[in-house]
Amino acid sequence: MKIAVLLDGRRSRDGGGAGFVAATLRGLGHAVRVESVATEPRPVLDRLAGQPVDLVVSLVRPGGARPRLAFELAGALDLMRIPYTGVGPQGLLVGGDLARARQVARLAGVPVADARGGKGRALSVLVLGNRQPEVFPACECVGRGARRTWRRAGLSPDDAAHVAAMARRIHGELDLGGYHRIDLCLPPGLPPGGAPCFVAADVRPMLDPALARALYAPLDPAALLRRILSLGLRRPRPPEWAVAEDGERA
């Protein structure tokens, strides 16, 4: 496939996720070009229109100097009928804004922990999928700052089921899709059947190898990227695409 990897400035500087993604995709046999939308998105969109790709892997994250750039780009790609990986525009708009995500989750009846995670175990789960998401085993965040990492959380079967059910529920309420990470808090002394609390969603989680090994196990990084590409191609498309494609074939 022809794939364009879109980076924002922050992602370009860290060099981690983007380089790993591009190298892994090339290793999988794809023709990859890397484009930065850090300063000027217009030439990148012109190149995507003039030199079409089969798929865009957007690593542009919400936040930064233009907080909704990821949302804008996803919407523009939808209008241009270019498939892309990850969360769609509605999920980026809602899930990509911490306060909005927590508000929408709370209004949907999801228990929400305070922004720092509250008391209890801080868990993270990778979610892969569109309409029928698969929730990966929960990991636990250990350490702080640059030394922060994840390890597999040893949860009882009941707790693991509750965490997975809550992650699926949040996936739907925030209109997420593709791949993303959900952070939850498991309060101490959670009674049987008790619900873990939502902390935040990372709608464009890092895809670097160290994190991939921890958070995305049992998939190896290449298998993870294959799944993400496949989900991008199968992301529910706006109905008008089908109409246009039918018309073009006719």
Partner 1 sequence: MRVTFLLDDEQVPEDDPGFDLPYDAASPQMEHHVIHATRGLGHDVRVFPLGADAHGTVTRIAAGRPDVVWNLVEHRRGDRRVAVHVPSLLALYGLRCTGSSSAALALTCDKALATRLVGDLGLSVPEGFVVPLGTARAVGPMVFPMIVKPRYEDGSEGISLRSIVRTKEALLERARFIHQSLAQDALCQRYIDGRELSVGVLGNARPEALPAREMVFGLRHAGGPAIATELAKASKTYSEKWRITYERAALGSELARELAQFAVEVYRALEITGYGRVDFRLDEAGRPYFLEANCNPDLRPRVFGVIAGWAGLGYGALLQRILDLSMAGDGVSGT
Identify which of residues 102 and 121 has a Cβ nearer to partner 1 in the complex: 102
Q: Does 98 bind partner 1 (CB under 8 A)?
A: no
Q: Does 239 bind partner 1 (CB under 8 A)?
A: yes
CB of 45 to partner 1, least distance (A): 6
Q: Does 78 bind partner 1 (CB under 8 A)?
A: yes
Binding range to partner 1, per CB under 8 A, among 66-74, 160-168, 210-218, 221-229: 66-74
Based on the number of CB atoms within 10 Å of its own CB, is 157 exposed (0-12), middle (13-18) or buried (19 or more)?
exposed
Which residue from 157, 169, 168, 154 is spatially nearest to 193, judged by alpha carbons? 157
Q: Does 41 bind partner 1 (CB under 8 A)?
A: yes
Q: Return the structure tokens found at 205.
A: 């989680």
CB of 81 to partner 1, least distance (A): 8
Q: Does 108 bind partner 1 (CB under 8 A)?
A: yes
Which residue from 143, 203, 158 is spatially nearest to 179, judged by alpha carbons? 203
What sign for the dihedral angle of Cα 118, 97, 207, 197?
Answer: positive
Identify which of residues 108 and 160 has a Cβ nearer to partner 1 in the complex: 108
Q: Does 80 bind partner 1 (CB under 8 A)?
A: yes
Q: Return the structure tokens found at 179.
A: 């791949």
List CB contacts of 237: < 8 A, sequence separation 6 or more.
83
CB atoms within 10 A of CB 21: 25
Identify which of residues 88 and 221 has a Cβ nearer to partner 1 in the complex: 88
- Contacts with partner 1 by CB under 8 A lie at 41-42, 45-46, 49, 66-68, 71-73, 75-76, 78-80, 89-90, 93-94, 103-104, 107-108, 238-240, 243-244, 247
